[in-house]
Amino acid sequence: MMAVTAKAFQLWRTQIAPEATVSDLCRKADIKRSTLAQQLVRGKVSIETVINIARAYGIPPVQALSVFDGYLDLAEGILPPTGEEYLSQVSPMDLLRLILGRSEETDWVGSPLSFRLAPLPHRYSVRSWFDAVDGGELRQALTTRTGIAPQNLSAQLSAGRLSTQLCVEVARVSGVSLANGLVVTGLLTPQEGSWADDGREQVLSSLPDSKLILIARDRLDGLGKRLRKQEQDNTRDQTLWENLG
């Protein structure tokens, strides 16, 4: 996870709370004092720490992050999510619920959903978002811009995570809102990232049945492949332990 320098953090925190001690900050933000102390000693303060302190002092996290190197363009780069991004944050089970609702005529195109969508991020939020904004050259562009090895990027996506640096770089390369990657990883709430409260519902309910089925098919196909790989890995691990035992 990309961090900010302790020097930059100390300057920022004296600006937002001039009279507050480190203990005051931790108490107000519900952070362990030892955690922040260790980060300051190492010279790197985590983005999560900055966000928690910003929230505690009523500062929008996007605004707070925008004063640090690596995030200076964050606030100016806020855009509405694309329809594909909203759809990427609908879980496979919710897609199936809508298909079932339409078959039973409790849901229909253009109508409000008859059920509540699972909150985001869901289990596959990061990979789904990455695929939604990938125009075909995203992996190569990230390797060129950040130096990340392709296998390391694949490992992060397979694990359902993405560093904050990569989150922002993915958005920059793809031309989408710079905060969206931070939303799908759970660092920012949808509201903090300027996502419409009913954005997912509106995009989902507008899909014709044919497109809904195709999206569900592709999403389930990818899910099936990932689950099969996990099962194969678990089988190999079990075999290894049995042979060692």
Q: Domain limits at 163?
A: 83-222
pLDDT at 220: 85
Mean pLDDT over 24-43 rounds to 95
Q: Are residues 97 and 9 in the same domain?
A: no
Q: Are residues 136 and 68 in the same domain?
A: no
Query: Is there a domain that residue 239 lies in?
Result: no
Query: Is there a domain that residue 238 lies in?
Result: no
* CA proximity to 187, closest of 152, 157, 156, 163: 163
Q: Are residues 165 and 141 in the same domain?
A: yes
Q: Are residues 120 and 141 in the same domain?
A: yes
The two tokens of residue 197 are: 């409260």
Q: Are residues 28 and 103 in the same domain?
A: no
pLDDT 10s digits, 133-156:
999 999 999 999 999 999 999 999
Domain boundary among 72, 101, 131: 72
Q: Are residues 90 and 211 in the same domain?
A: yes
Residue 1 has pLDDT above 60, yes or no: no
Residue 244 has pLDDT above 70, yes or no: no
Query: Is there a domain that residue 242 lies in?
Result: no
Would you place residue 234 in the very low, low, confident or very high pLDDT band (cuts 50, 70, 90)? confident
Query: Is there a domain that residue 235 lies in?
Result: no
pLDDT 10s digits, 162-179:
999 999 999 999 999 999
Please report where in the chains the tokens 């000693």 appear, as a residue.
41
Does this model's pTM top 0.95? no
CATH of the domain at 36: 1.10.260.40
Q: What helix, strand, coil percent values describe the chain, rounded to 5?
A: 60, 0, 35
How many structural domains is the chain composed of? 2
pLDDT 10s digits, 41-64:
999 999 999 999 999 999 999 999
